[in-house]
Structure 1
Amino acid sequence: MAIRSKKQKFFLFLKLFAVLLLLALGGMYFFRDSLLQKALNKAEHKFDKEYDCRFSVKQANFIGISGVEMHDIVLIPKNADTLLSVQKIKTSYSLLELLTGDIQLKNLEMNNGFIQLVKNENGRNFDAFLKRDTTEQSNEKRNYAKLAYRLLSKALNLVPTEMKLQNLSLRMDDMGRKVTLHMNDLQLEDHQLQTAIHVKTNTFSQNWNIKGFADPREMKADLKFFNSDTSKIQLPYIDERFGLKSSFDNIRLKLDKLEMESGELHIDGFTSIDNFTINHPKIAKKDVVIQNARFDYRFLLGSDFISIDSTSSAQLNKIKVRPFAEYNTEADTIYKLKIDIQKMKAQDFITSLPQGLFTHFEGMEAEGMFDYQLDFEYNKNKPNQLVFDSKLNKENLRIVKYGEANLAKLNGEFTYRAIDKGVEQRPILVGPANPNYTPLDQISPYLEKAVLTNEDPSFRRHRGFINEAFKQSIVKNIRTKKFARGASTISMQLVKNVFLTREKTLSRKLEEILLVYILENNRIASKSRMLEVYFNVIEWGPNVYGIGEAAQFYFQKRPSDLTLNECLYLASIVPKPKKFMWQFDNEGNQKPYAKKNQNYIKNLMLRRALISSDDTIGQSVPIYISGHARSFLKLKVVQDSIPSDSLLVDEFDF
């Protein structure tokens, strides 16, 4: 009987709990509209106090057990343009998930509305929502995996499994740069999404299509973006805002997996793009076209790292790359990057380069195979321990035909034309037929030593690049968060002067690196020949090209007769030859900073035993500019110190 009594009590408890639950649910059901209104009032108060915005819903009510319908929803920041306006929203949710605190939308209908982002002289209408919440401070270390999974899960749960949107717009007005994305109809039904978007800007108008598979609950998708007609999709806003024109035929985005495993978040999928075209004056002087590109990705996020796993792969036309990238904060803040280009034909690499980015390689032909590995690691707290290892493995690699940049011409006579501010300068014949051309053995050895000391001390040993200088350049640029320092060698300067332009574009820099590598590692020209051409083509002053002209322009001498001091001076002006006159005061004497710079070069030469103390004897005489260069100096006018005699003047005044 005692056991039965306990069972009776247990069942009685269950009955009471069920009754109370039903009463609670019944109370919620009968008073749900008032509870909804109370929640909306609370939201209105929150928007008013925390975001200085007026939020209002003209009418709101429940439909059935798990449906809500709202009319005339408006969000207006004070003294600013309307941020959001929707005529009707109708949605349903999972009641079971709601009770567990995990809101999941089942259906959504939205009609006649817009979101509007405006920036004008009075500010931005969305500024209040960008303020960081400083009320909650926590010393707990951020867990990247948990944070990302929580945010992504909540976002995907708010995407309904069935959706119908009609007559909705996203508008943007950034100081007159206007963009409107308008959807007449978007439908998501049976995991199939389809919509057409009309895009209108100040410069163009287009119709986009989005179509494909989408399952927000399983966290999977396979969507394709393409234009309604045969033209390319143009990306809005960035053309007016940044001068970057960009377009493509289509993009495919696929998400295969998004889940937590052993405390790590795994995100797998791929994205591909066809005929991607970009145009910007800092990238290249004409359109850059990537015909086909694909990225099969696996992102891994842990408690203290974010990475692109090494099982990921990227393909650019026929170039296949295995990338690895990681941001790690376990002990120090460390950035890692590894690139592995698998063995491929050299010709396939050349033909796969983006059109317009490597114009000097067009028409180039090569034989053989190669593979390439890059290992980069930067510790923010220990920058001097930077790792930068670059390795190219060649297999019977050789150039059989040059493109626009014929590197072999360095070995013969050719005509050089400098380009200054986009304008071709007078032609300079590089060869014995030019009376100003000076062979290396007829140039003062002091000049070679001084220029190499100042510009590229290891020129005769390196293969185009100085790894240590390159590392220092990277560290400097990371610290300053801008391209503040380069690592240019004489080989790079030679290629830039003879084969390329002075335009500061990504295209020019990439071409320079590849051409220097080919020049140096295929032994196309000897080091002495490269240096001889370098001395005979570089600019030494305004419209002064080659050391033959420079020796006359400054000192009325032949290059072989230059003194040590004169060579030190010439070496010091190589970086900025057109500004040589600022080294001198109004009496034609060198300023202290210029003398200090030349003494620094001289002392380096002494320490490296490039010159001896005997070479410096008699070299204390100040630099005197005697050639045509003297007319460029800002010399003061010397007044006649003899007073005029009026009697003498009157004597000849007839």
Structure 2
Amino acid sequence: MKTAKQKAFLALKISGMMLLLGIALAFAFRNALLEKIIHRIDTKLDRDYQCRLTIQKAEFHGLTELEFQHIALVPKQADTLVRIEGLKTKVTFWKLLIGDIQLGKLEINKGYIQLVKTKNGSNFDAFLRSKKDPSENAEVNYAKLLNRITSRLMNLVPTDMSVKGFAFRINDQGHKVVFDFQQLALENKKLNTRIQVTSEDFSQQWSISGFADPRDRKADLDFYNPDKDTVKIPYLDKKWNLKTGFKSIHFNLENLTMRSGELHIDGYSSIKNLFVNHPKIAGKDVTVQSARFDYHWVVASRAIALDSTSTLQLNRIQCNPYLSYTHDTDKIYALKLSIPKMKAQDFIASLPNGLFRHFEGMEAQGNFSYALHFAYNNHKPNEVVFESKLRPENLKITQYGEADLNKINSEFVYRAVDKGILQRPIVVGNSNPYFTPLSAISPYLQKCVLTSEDPSFFNHRGFINEAFKQSIVKNIRTKKFSRGASTISMQLVKNVFLTREKTLSRKLEEILLVYILENNHISTKERMLEVYFNIIEWGPNVYGIGEASRFYFQKSPGDLNLNECLFLATIIPKPKGFMYRFDANHELKLFAKQQETFLTKLMLRRNVLTANDTIGNFPLTISGPAASFLKQKTINTIENDSLSTDEFEF
């Protein structure tokens, strides 16, 4: 009778023999199996992506070497997507047995991948459509998923590679660019790549070189122009009017490992002499001499975070960012940003050239630190967290750049910009007969405008955190910038010191200039409000309250009654359309009356007005030159009686 040890040995021997037999059979029928695999892949591509895969020759050489000739992937009724003349590779046999493809060596001789888009569609449309399996568990483990994806991608990168005469082409409705890989070699973990980039009016060589180890998940690469010129990115200027480039990029991946159920990704990236040009960013090139990002990403089962040990450096500005996204019961987004104590002048000198044009030439003394905290829960939007704290230390502006904030304290010339056209000059000072000191402006008008535009003007330092919170909530809900959080201080800086262009540059400059104006006590609140009342638009070619009070009511600003002040305050958002607030009898329409009633009740509730203030007010009468606009509107309405005046309401 056989012992247990003998039985185990026999079972092991049988298993070994079966394995050897399986390997022998696989070896004997490997080319037939390969044909079946290719046929199965072709069937799937045809079914799921409406593409045909053809391979003129496919065969094994030995147990692990594969050779393919004349490979083509062609979508139905579209241009060829992939064509390769010759391809040789080695696969790890044991990995292949368990269905895990790991490439050891790869040779590609001539071929291309091309993305073609016409007005009727593209040759890659089918691959962009979502094919989500409804049976998939919605509770995806982010760490495991990303680790699986990166593992498969890394396994597909061969340890030795030689590519010659292979091109990547883009043809987007006539906008063409070709990336011709003249050399792509990976040997002994050293990568050398030479790419000829060509478009309609552009030709340049790129090079990528350095250390690459796909099996150990490590890389240290440089991306540059071998002719020591600026690397310019084609196609983006034709597609999105974006011009950009750089001197060099360094990329380092130091660690990509799973630990305790979390995926950790560590490394750094740096860039030299980056330039960006887009009309939505700034009016000219924005350049960054040096930037570096040291990152430590942590991916958990239901969360992704950029750890606060990460650092971001922009010239001499260094900060510690923290980002996180958690998707459990709720979706929670969080951002923290801290700038440790630094010299104010180093900060100014490190700002990207072209992005802060009005700061060029500015000099400052002292130090500061900064901290930002933002958190948003999609199921608790009203509990949004927004905290922005700048801590100055003997901070003082010793010399201004193009935006000289001191000019607000003396007489100056203001010129509005309407649809890109510079308007007539307005003198803000006593030499202008329409200039009105704050003390000569009706207190009712001051109360109405402050209540509707900026109730806490005399208490805040340029910004209202609560308004920012509500703005963020609404913008997230609508998925667009549908609401701002502008204060009178911000409107003043935008109009007096900056252009009216709608760019990222102007908005960033506005925020910094408002802080400097409000926190360095450059001007009093009273003077700021006085300037505001004397420059804002109050009608067609009507600027300042001195012109407005006469244009509408043939009065001086100090003689305006409450009803007239309510009217002037409610037309500030759209002053040129004031005439559409009136009906054919020159009386306020219902919506306009409701706006004024709401504003009145709000001021009564806040004790800005008393009940006695509302007694003895006469009906609103437009008696100045503005009356001619009402008459013209009435004539136009009669002549076009098929057009309802309600269409002009706002």
Under TM normalisation by the shorter chain, which class is it? Answer: over 0.9
Of 577, 584, 587 in structure 2, the residue corresponding to residue 586 of structure 1 is 584
- The within-5 A match list for 1:146-225 is 146-225=144-223
- Kindly indicate whether the alpha-carbon contact (under 8 Å) linking 1:586 and 1:636 is maintained by their aligned counterparts in 2: yes
AA at the equivalent of 2:84 = V
In the other structure, the counterpart of 1:341 is 339
Please state how far the C-alpha of 1:237 moved relative to its aligned partner.
2.1
Separation in 2, partners of 1:635, 1:331:
56
Of 45, 55, 58 in structure 2, the residue corresponding to residue 57 of structure 1 is 55
- Kindly indicate whether the alpha-carbon contact (under 8 Å) linking 1:85 and 1:115 is maintained by their aligned counterparts in 2: yes
AA at the equivalent of 1:631 = S
In the other structure, the counterpart of 2:623 is 626
SS of match in other structure, 1:636: helix
In the other structure, the counterpart of 1:650 is none
- The within-5 A match list for 1:454-603 is 454-603=452-601
AA at the equivalent of 1:60 = A
Separation in 2, partners of 1:631, 1:192:
80
AA at the equivalent of 1:26 = A
Say how many residue pairs are matched. 635
- Kindly indicate whether the alpha-carbon contact (under 8 Å) linking 2:538 and 2:575 is maintained by their aligned counterparts in 1: yes
Separation in 1, partners of 2:416, 2:138:
60
- Kindly indicate whether the alpha-carbon contact (under 8 Å) linking 2:143 and 2:299 is maintained by their aligned counterparts in 1: yes
Separation in 1, partners of 2:184, 2:259:
34
SS of match in other structure, 1:295: strand
Please state how far the C-alpha of 1:631 moved relative to its aligned partner.
2.1
Separation in 1, partners of 2:37, 2:163:
25
SS of match in other structure, 1:585: coil
- Greater Rg, structure 1 or structure 2? 1
Please state how far the C-alpha of 1:428 moved relative to its aligned partner.
1.2
SS of match in other structure, 2:324: strand
Separation in 2, partners of 1:380, 1:419:
39
Please state how far the C-alpha of 1:7 moved relative to its aligned partner.
5.4
Q: Which stretch has the larger CA shift, 389-398 or 202-211?
A: 202-211
Please state how far the C-alpha of 1:623 moved relative to its aligned partner.
1.8
SS of match in other structure, 2:626: helix
Please state how far the C-alpha of 1:6 moved relative to its aligned partner.
5.8
Q: Structure 2 vs 1, CA of residues 29 and 585 (structure 1 numbering), >3 Å: closer, same or farther?
A: same
Are 1:99 and 2:100 matched, yes or no?
no
SS of match in other structure, 2:634: coil
- Kindly indicate whether the alpha-carbon contact (under 8 Å) linking 2:579 and 2:633 is maintained by their aligned counterparts in 1: no
Cα deviation code 1:330-349 (max 9, x no counterpart)? 33110000001011000000
In the other structure, the counterpart of 1:138 is 136
Q: Structure 2 vs 1, CA of residues 327 and 6 (structure 1 numbering), >3 Å: closer, same or farther?
A: closer
Q: Which stretch has the larger CA shift, 407-416 or 84-93?
A: 407-416
Separation in 2, partners of 1:82, 1:152:
28
Question: TM-score under structure 2 normalisation?
Answer: 0.95
In the other structure, the counterpart of 1:84 is 82
- The within-5 A match list for 1:392-431 is 392-431=390-429
SS of match in other structure, 2:586: coil
Separation in 2, partners of 1:138, 1:191:
38
- The within-5 A match list for 1:6-17 is 10-17=8-15
In the other structure, the counterpart of 2:647 is none
Please state how far the C-alpha of 1:12 moved relative to its aligned partner.
4.4
SS of match in other structure, 2:181: strand
Q: Structure 2 vs 1, CA of residues 136 and 252 (structure 1 numbering), >3 Å: closer, same or farther?
A: same
- Kindly indicate whether the alpha-carbon contact (under 8 Å) linking 1:585 and 1:635 is maintained by their aligned counterparts in 2: no
Separation in 2, partners of 1:533, 1:622:
30
AA at the equivalent of 1:172 = I
Separation in 1, partners of 2:78, 2:200:
23
- The within-5 A match list for 1:237-256 is 237-256=235-254
Q: Which stretch has the larger CA shift, 187-196 or 226-235?
A: 226-235
AA at the equivalent of 2:470 = Q
- Kindly indicate whether the alpha-carbon contact (under 8 Å) linking 1:118 and 1:174 is maintained by their aligned counterparts in 2: yes
SS of match in other structure, 1:628: coil
Cα deviation code 1:290-333 (max 9, x no counterpart)? 11100000010000100100010000000000000000013311
- Kindly indicate whether the alpha-carbon contact (under 8 Å) linking 1:61 and 1:69 is maintained by their aligned counterparts in 2: yes
Q: Which stretch has the larger CA shift, 70-79 or 425-434?
A: 425-434
SS of match in other structure, 1:588: coil
Cα deviation code 1:401-445 (max 9, x no counterpart)? 111111111111111111222222211111111111111111111
SS of match in other structure, 1:511: helix
- Kindly indicate whether the alpha-carbon contact (under 8 Å) linking 1:588 and 1:635 is maintained by their aligned counterparts in 2: no
Q: Structure 2 vs 1, CA of residues 259 and 443 (structure 1 numbering), >3 Å: closer, same or farther?
A: same
Q: Structure 2 vs 1, CA of residues 203 and 385 (structure 1 numbering), >3 Å: closer, same or farther?
A: farther
Q: Which stretch has the larger CA shift, 226-235 or 383-392?
A: 226-235
AA at the equivalent of 1:409 = K
Please state how far the C-alpha of 1:493 moved relative to its aligned partner.
0.7
Please state how far the C-alpha of 1:211 moved relative to its aligned partner.
0.8
- The within-5 A match list for 1:99-138 is 99-138=97-136
Q: Percent identity?
A: 57
Of 288, 305, 308 in structure 1, the residue corresponding to residue 306 of structure 2 is 308
Gaps of 5+ in 2: 637-650
- Kindly indicate whether the alpha-carbon contact (under 8 Å) linking 1:299 and 1:308 is maintained by their aligned counterparts in 2: yes
Q: Structure 2 vs 1, CA of residues 30 and 581 (structure 1 numbering), >3 Å: closer, same or farther?
A: same
AA at the equivalent of 1:380 = N
Are 1:438 and 2:436 matched, yes or no?
yes
SS of match in other structure, 2:250: strand
Please state how far the C-alpha of 1:131 moved relative to its aligned partner.
2.5
Separation in 2, partners of 1:24, 1:608:
87
Cα deviation code 1:598-650 (max 9, x no counterpart)? 1211111222222222221221x332212122222234359xxxxxxxxxxxx
AA at the equivalent of 1:288 = V
Q: Structure 2 vs 1, CA of residues 6 and 263 (structure 1 numbering), >3 Å: closer, same or farther?
A: closer
In the other structure, the counterpart of 1:643 is none
Please state how far the C-alpha of 1:572 moved relative to its aligned partner.
0.8
Separation in 2, partners of 1:322, 1:120:
45
Separation in 1, partners of 2:436, 2:202:
57
SS of match in other structure, 2:237: helix
- Kindly indicate whether the alpha-carbon contact (under 8 Å) linking 1:587 and 1:635 is maintained by their aligned counterparts in 2: no
In the other structure, the counterpart of 1:453 is 451
Q: Structure 2 vs 1, CA of residues 326 and 635 (structure 1 numbering), >3 Å: closer, same or farther?
A: closer
Separation in 2, partners of 1:591, 1:9:
100
- Kindly indicate whether the alpha-carbon contact (under 8 Å) linking 1:581 and 1:632 is maintained by their aligned counterparts in 2: yes
Of 59, 66, 74 in structure 2, the residue corresponding to residue 68 of structure 1 is 66
SS of match in other structure, 2:509: helix
Separation in 2, partners of 1:622, 1:271:
68
Separation in 2, partners of 1:615, 1:224:
73
Q: Structure 2 vs 1, CA of residues 6 and 509 (structure 1 numbering), >3 Å: closer, same or farther?
A: closer
Please state how far the C-alpha of 1:138 moved relative to its aligned partner.
2.9
Please state how far the C-alpha of 1:545 moved relative to its aligned partner.
1.2
In the other structure, the counterpart of 1:652 is none
AA at the equivalent of 2:79 = D
Please state how far the C-alpha of 1:100 moved relative to its aligned partner.
4.0
In the other structure, the counterpart of 2:16 is 18
Cα deviation code 1:180-217 (max 9, x no counterpart)? 11112210001110111111223422111111110000
Q: Structure 2 vs 1, CA of residues 101 and 438 (structure 1 numbering), >3 Å: closer, same or farther?
A: same
In the other structure, the counterpart of 2:265 is 267
Gaps of 5+ in 1: 639-654
AA at the equivalent of 2:122 = R
- Kindly indicate whether the alpha-carbon contact (under 8 Å) linking 1:552 and 1:558 is maintained by their aligned counterparts in 2: yes
Separation in 1, partners of 2:110, 2:52:
20
Separation in 1, partners of 2:60, 2:591:
81
Two-structure CA RMSD over aligned residues (Å): 1.5
